[in-house]
Amino acid sequence: MLRPRSGGQQPPPTDAALLDRCREGDASAWDEIVRRYERLTFSVALRNGLSREDAADITQIAFVSLYDSLGRLREDERLASWLMTVARRQSWRVRNAARRLSPLEHAPEETDDPLADWETATVLHDALADLGDPCRELLVALYFEAEEPSYAEIADRMGRAIGGIGPMRGRCLAKLRQIMEEGDDR
Amino acid sequence: MTRRPSFTELVDWLEDRLPEDRASDVAAAVGDAERIGDHELLDAAAWIRAFHRDSGSLQHTPVPDDLQDRLRALFRDRQRPWESAGYLPPHAVVDSRDLPRAVGFRGGSPAALAEARRIVIERDAIRLVLEVAEQTEDGLTVHGTITVADPAADPDVSQGRPGPLAASVALTSKGRLLRRVTTGPDGRFSAVLVPAHVDEVWLDAGHGRKVRAEVELALR
């Protein structure tokens, strides 16, 4: 859940800054990473055909892996796709195990990859991380949250005027497009 | 020639958020762009459409209530030595490897018994049954059930609340936390891809009822 924010604060830390703070033992930085990415990680597991219980396990495994990898994670700004990839691989393992154990009619549905374009999904989420907050928070709330919150709810959460949400959304999408196109050029 | 729409107006237009008259203007401008080959405008509209499609393909679903707490606790638990205070050894640990019939394994061949494992851990009124259903190179599949052997003696059950069933089970190896699970209201839990080198099980059933059992879960 996004937290209401008052004006005049420092810009929210990047993923890389949060990971650095985790390496120094800062639990509040870890909490922020959990807040940013728990839903994404959980959703990748769900989209791979797992039950909510198994998807919760996969999410925990992904964050345990993250903790264990803090000292050797190289591309800090690619945390989103790193977690997505761990969740996807582990989900495959659970699905494969379930197929071995279950009668066919109970086995998770076989799909090669439920995310039609995995690379696009990971590039998009890394670009959202590059975009940073508050734009990232706004676009995630508007376009990714399964509950589809209203403009009024989002404005309330973010401590902004409802009239500013539409124009801000346009600016944030334009920035996101620029980041993704610069990434394509690299 | 119609006025060129801004990027934000294009977004509004594609999301049906423009007043009718302005929506018509933007539609006309996009039509003009197609006629004259204004790729800048057309590319912007194509990018927005692709973004709508891609964002719709991976919606972020809310996580179960207790998952965020578990994910947060994971960091704190790993930052400090495992807190073993208050945990007591079990009165009994019965393993299907040693006494298959005592834990309900009946009539199984030695090969079948080797493919699964049941371990019963008991102390006072609390009984934890662990079933190791499978071991692959990725880890173990473990199911657990916590029951109160004597509901009348249990403060929660006697007060009409769900029993000691909102319990926490931690699996560790050499004192390092590998997995923490919380039981559902029925006292059951399942965990997949559990590292096979678990060597201790820690059960916290509330009211100070903490049991620590040295148990290796691996099937082989």
Length of chain B in residues, anyone?
Answer: 220
Task: Find the CB nearest B54 among A60, A121, A170.
Answer: A121
Structure tokens at A150: 């209203």
Lowest mean pLDDT, pick from A69-73, A169-173, B61-65: A69-73
The DSSP code sequence of A7-52 is TTPPPPPPHHHHHHHHHTT-HHHHHHHHHHHHHHHHHHHHHTT--H
- Closest residue in B to A55 (Cα–Cα): B63
Contact yes or no for A166 and B179 at CB 8 A: no
Distance from CA of B31 to the nearest CA of A (A): 21
Q: What is the ipTM of this complex?
A: 0.82
Q: How far apart are CA B106 and CA B219, in angstroms?
A: 18
**The pLDDT value given to residue B164:** 46
pLDDT, tens digit, 9 for 90 and up, residues A140-170: 999 999 889 999 999 999 999 999 999 999 9
Per-residue pLDDT in tens (0 to 9) along chain B, 220 residues: 577 899 999 999 999 999 998 999 999 999 988 888 888 899 999 999 999 999 988 889 999 988 999 999 889 887 766 667 789 989 899 988 888 777 777 766 777 777 788 999 998 888 899 999 888 877 888 999 988 766 555 555 555 454 445 788 988 888 777 888 888 777 888 888 888 899 999 998 887 889 999 998 888 7
Q: Which residues 6+ apart lie within 8 Å of B39 measured at CB?
A: none
Chain A residues with CB inside 8 Å of B52's CB? Answer: 143
* Residue A180, CA atoms < 13 Å, CB-side half-sphere: 21
Q: Searching chain B, which residue's CA lies closest to the CA of residue A101?
A: B134
- Asked if B11's CB is within 8 angstroms of A34's CB, the reply is no
Ranges A20-29, A74-83, B143-152: which has the least confidence: B143-152
Q: How far apart are CA A44 and CA B211, in angstroms?
A: 35
Contacting residues of A for B58, CB less than 8 Å apart: 40, 43-44, 47, 115, 121, 144
Instruction: Note whether B142 and B218 are within 8 A (CB).
Output: no
Name the nearest CA neighbour of A21 among A68, A70, A65, A64.
A70
Sheet of strand B188-194: strand arrangement: B92-95, B117-123, B126-136, B139-148, B188-194
Q: pTM to 2 decimals?
A: 0.72
**pLDDT tens, position by position, A96-144:** 766 665 555 554 554 555 556 788 899 999 999 999 989 999 999 999 9
Is the minimum CB–CB distance between B43 and chain A shorter than 8 Å?
A: no
Query: Out of B57, B72, B193, whose CB is closest to A116?
Result: B57
Residues in B closer than 8 angstroms to A27, CB to CB, are 72, 75-76, 79
What's the confidence (pLDDT) of residue B209?
Answer: 85
User: A35 or A97: which carries more pLDDT confidence?
Assistant: A35
Q: How far apart are CA B205 and CA A161, in angstroms?
A: 47
pLDDT for A88: 93
